Structure 1
Amino acid sequence: MDRPRLLRRLQAVRAHSLALSEPLSAEDCALQSMPDASPVKWHLAHTSWFFETLVLAPNAAGYRAFNERFGFLFNSYYEALGPRHPRPQRGMLSRPALSEVLDYRRHVDAALCEFVEAGDEAALRSAAALIELGLQHEQQHQELIVTDVKHLLSLNPLQPAYLADDAARGAGVATAATPPLRWLGFDGALVDIGHQGDGFAFDNETPRHRVWLQPFELANRPVSCGDYMEFMADGGYRRPELWLSDGWAWVQANAATAPMYWRAEREGGPWTQFTLSGERPVAPAEPVCHVNLYEAAAYAQWAGARLPTEAEWEAAVAAQAPPPSATTAPKALADHLHPAPITDGPGLLQADSAVWQWTRSAYEPYPGFRPLAGAVGEYNGKFMVAQSVLRGGSCASPAGHVRASYRNFFPAAARWQFSGLRLARDGA
């Protein structure tokens, strides 16, 4: 057991969650903008509760809970661990104050560091897998902090910026040229998909198994904002023949006319979009983001294409791209702000760094899937219904979470995540 390495990783991940909250006021951290989002204060407390409940309490000798009542407030969905405060009402938790939540984190961090540095060797080895799961879990919540804060700030009439240092990063973006869309062909084959190797993977990425693929083609780049504006100009949101039945019902119920966070002072544009660095013009060369599965499928229908299956996407990335970087170092805050413009190059462009890419694959268990034992068995398996898979990664995804086998998943109507699309079509 490499205790110093584990300690450094633990401290880096835990510190990064706090860094994400630093540009925010205590009031920002307490608000919940919709039932699908959570207050930043709740994210900071829940990730601490996870370590306290699943790692420290059963493994660290003499550990004393910070507040026994916090289990009810900060349990998310673990039925095996008891009742919990309703998710849609997390924004009503004015108490504990942010300062007390930060005290809670310091209490848990001190105990975690002591356990990793000087705890019983056998106990630490027994808890090692849960510590790693806790770190990966916290990194997932770091991505949620970014997307939840964006939704929250977008509702403020003042259109406040989370970070206002993005001017240089955005210079020239509005006029950058979009690389041409090219089709990359892949032969039909029996391929293996799912996690392989010794690195971390969530249980939903396993077991590795074989899938038969017919010949297919995948677009070399994601759909851009400029592409999507052509769909909109051609009446994309007014043509029911392009939409899945549930999608058309969603368009009508929500009066949808554009991706989330886009707006125009008059019909037909020019379009602007709210970003974490404030309002700015929509840049045609950026990948379109904050679209849901319905919008992605409608665009694909309009373009005479389709969305890929998750097996096609994984096989294509495995064949085309070098393995993603194994770094787990936290990203700088500015790297979470917005997808970068698409620049030309060989192979699949922006497969893992700009926007999550919708697939037409239902989020279901792989053949032979078995949930983990104990409460952590509820982590993924029980959500394998009525959701669709997204692949890749986004500007908000933590370092180390980008790999070909990673399976993100959301309901078809969700679009507050950095979600976009890449086209596919049948091969010859």
Structure 2
Amino acid sequence: MPSVAAPAPPPAAVALEPRYRQVRAASRALAAPLSAEDAMVQSMDDASPAKWHLAHTTWFFERFVLEPVGQAPLRPEWNYLFNSYYDSAGPRHPRPRRGLLSRPSLEEVLEYRERVDARVLQALQAGDLPAVARDRLELGLHHEQQHQELLLTDIKHALWSHPLRPAYRDDLPAPPAAAPMPLAWIAVDERIVRIGAPRWPQAPGFAYDNESPRHRALVPAHALASRPVSNAEYRGFVEDGGYRAPALWLSDGWAKVRAEGWQRPLYWEPDLERAYTLGGLRALPAHAPVCHLSYYEADAFARWAGARLPGEAEWEQAAAPLAAEGHFADDGLLQPRPATAAGLQQLYGDVWEWTGSAYLPYPGFRPWQDATGEYNGKFMCGQWVLRGGSCATPRGHVRASYRNFFPPHARWQFSGLRLARDAA
């Protein structure tokens, strides 16, 4: 009998295959400079070891893409080790104790990645993934890109915590020299705008559930700074005694300043001339955006400057007309670089920008209706929204509607600020 050709996979599956390969390879490349010892370090409760990031992102594909189509897990006992916060997926190892997971070894984790990759690619090529599984695969790729940034921020904190302050990569270039770009104010009239994203996957174009639904918001008359606050400008706040002036701080922020002994941004040296970077200890570029600020610090600086933080609707209405282009992790600098042009600059990339908006659901918000519904919605308490991406964010990962969120004390991300002020 003549052989019967296997049915061709759907076009959506064909399109996913090269993207899957690229994202997974990018994680391996980011981890390549690390030793097995580096990859196991957890320097604080909020961070995770690089090895754990590599394993957890792989577990996500195995648990949410392959298992629902009948593929048994390769190592069922690892479900406990590498589940992050999905209560509906079973019990999990405590987050603050991930650095105690000396086993499985880094070599075993990398082998696990290869075996799961082979299974995913085989399923894609055979057309064995239905639409819902392909949607979860797409979600998993965006999830992995988030962990690529976390891998960088977490290993930066771990290596900075080492007495010798070793570099993640000695070959990272310094930011280009640049003249100071004067800060200008862009006036915006009061208006009603539409923000947020249509609900994916019902609508084309990926967006997390916390970005939907698209809805109307009132933006008051205001002015937005043309660029983020620079290191030189923030140094002025430090030298003016900003960390010793309780009237500038929210009550919880002032309590944190005193309890933790904060005197300057995370990674700055006491001389205010140098800072630790992923390339080691280097001169602080005066005109690059300041980063590694908590929400408390960003809010205090804005008050000192006679301004405020922008609301997320104000930020999004400014960013929405612009292409999501800027300085991202793919450029290989892994440090913010100065603005080089006039006008509205650096809304995307360089530093995440704290907004004055609490992380809350949009009107009509509905989380995804399976285990992945735990991804965003259950954290809508005690967090603040950041926008725009950073120099450690993969290119193509952010958009105008993207809502990042962290608790107000978080400093280890590449987080800075842009000023806003009310209309006169």
TM-score by length of 1: 0.93
Partner of 2:27: 17
Partner of 2:120: 112
CA apart distance, 1:307: 0.5
Judged with a 3 Å threshold, the aligned counterparts in structure 2 of structure 1 residues 270 and 216 are, in CA distance, closer, same or farther, namely closer
Partner of 1:224: 230
Answering whether residue 96 of structure 2 is matched by residue 88 of structure 1, we say yes
Amino acid aligned to 1:89: R
- Please give the residue correspondences for 1:293-304 in structure 2 after superposition, counting only pairs within 5 Å: 293-304=295-306
Judged with a 3 Å threshold, the aligned counterparts in structure 2 of structure 1 residues 333 and 88 are, in CA distance, closer, same or farther, namely farther
Amino acid aligned to 1:117: Q
Partner of 2:107: 99
TM-score by length of 2: 0.94
Amino acid aligned to 1:44: L
Which has the higher mean CA deviation after the structures are superposed, 20-29 or 190-199? 190-199
CA contact (8 A) 1:195 1:405 kept: yes
Partner of 2:384: 388
CA apart distance, 1:127: 1.1
Partner of 1:148: 154
Amino acid aligned to 1:285: H
Q: Distance in 2 between matches of 1:42 and 1:73?
A: 9
CA contact (8 A) 1:163 1:334 kept: no
Answering whether residue 54 of structure 2 is matched by residue 58 of structure 1, we say no
Answering whether residue 69 of structure 2 is matched by residue 69 of structure 1, we say no
Q: Distance in 2 between matches of 1:208 and 1:85?
A: 37
Partner of 2:245: 239
Q: Distance in 2 between matches of 1:166 and 1:11?
A: 25
Q: Distance in 2 between matches of 1:427 and 1:116?
A: 54
CA contact (8 A) 2:329 2:391 kept: no
Aligned with 1:289 (options 288, 291, 294): 291
Q: Distance in 2 between matches of 1:242 and 1:325?
A: 34
Partner of 1:186: 188
CA apart distance, 1:198: 2.4
Which has the higher mean CA deviation after the structures are superposed, 277-286 or 20-29? 277-286
Partner of 2:332: 334
CA contact (8 A) 1:162 1:277 kept: yes
Partner of 1:367: 363
Q: Distance in 1 between matches of 2:389 and 2:279?
A: 20
Write out per-residue CA displacement over residues 19-68 of structure 1, whole angstroms, 9 at most, x where no aligned residue: 11000000000111111000010001101110001100111x5x232111
Amino acid aligned to 2:373: G
CA contact (8 A) 1:186 1:316 kept: no
Q: Structure 2: give runs of 5+ residues left out of the alignment.
A: 1-9
Q: Distance in 1 between matches of 2:329 and 2:265?
A: 26
Write out per-residue CA displacement over residues 218-239 of structure 1, whole angstroms, 9 at most, x where no aligned residue: 0001000000011111111111
Write out per-residue CA displacement over residues 234-257 of structure 1, whole angstroms, 9 at most, x where no aligned residue: 111111111111111111111111
Which has the higher mean CA deviation after the structures are superposed, 156-165 or 224-233? 156-165
Write out per-residue CA displacement over residues 253-308 of structure 1, whole angstroms, 9 at most, x where no aligned residue: 111110000012xxxx3521000001111111010000001100110010000001
Amino acid aligned to 1:20: L
CA contact (8 A) 2:175 2:335 kept: no
Q: Distance in 1 between matches of 2:217 and 2:14?
A: 41
Q: Distance in 2 between matches of 1:26 and 1:375?
A: 32
Answering whether residue 307 of structure 2 is matched by residue 305 of structure 1, we say yes
Partner of 1:128: 134
CA contact (8 A) 2:235 2:272 kept: no
Partner of 2:58: 48
Partner of 2:4: none
Q: Distance in 2 between matches of 1:372 and 1:274?
A: 40
Aligned with 1:30 (options 40, 51, 55): 40
CA contact (8 A) 1:20 1:333 kept: no
Partner of 1:278: 280
Partner of 2:165: 159
Q: Structure 1: give runs of 5+ residues left out of the alignment.
A: none
Q: Distance in 2 between matches of 1:421 and 1:325?
A: 18
Partner of 2:219: 213
Partner of 2:5: none
Judged with a 3 Å threshold, the aligned counterparts in structure 2 of structure 1 residues 394 and 331 are, in CA distance, closer, same or farther, namely closer
CA apart distance, 1:5: 2.3
Write out per-residue CA displacement over residues 78-136 of structure 1, whole angstroms, 9 at most, x where no aligned residue: 0101100000000000010111111111110000000000133xx43231111100100
Q: Kindly report structure 1 stretches of 4+ aligned residues shifted beyond 4 Å.
A: none
Q: Distance in 2 between matches of 1:277 and 1:426?
A: 39
CA contact (8 A) 1:193 1:208 kept: yes
Q: Distance in 2 between matches of 1:75 and 1:388?
A: 25
**SS state at 1:184 partner:** strand
Q: Report percent identity of matched pairs.
A: 56
Number of corresponding residues: 409
Amino acid aligned to 1:12: Q
- What's the RMSD between the two structures over aligned residues? 1.5
CA contact (8 A) 1:116 1:124 kept: no
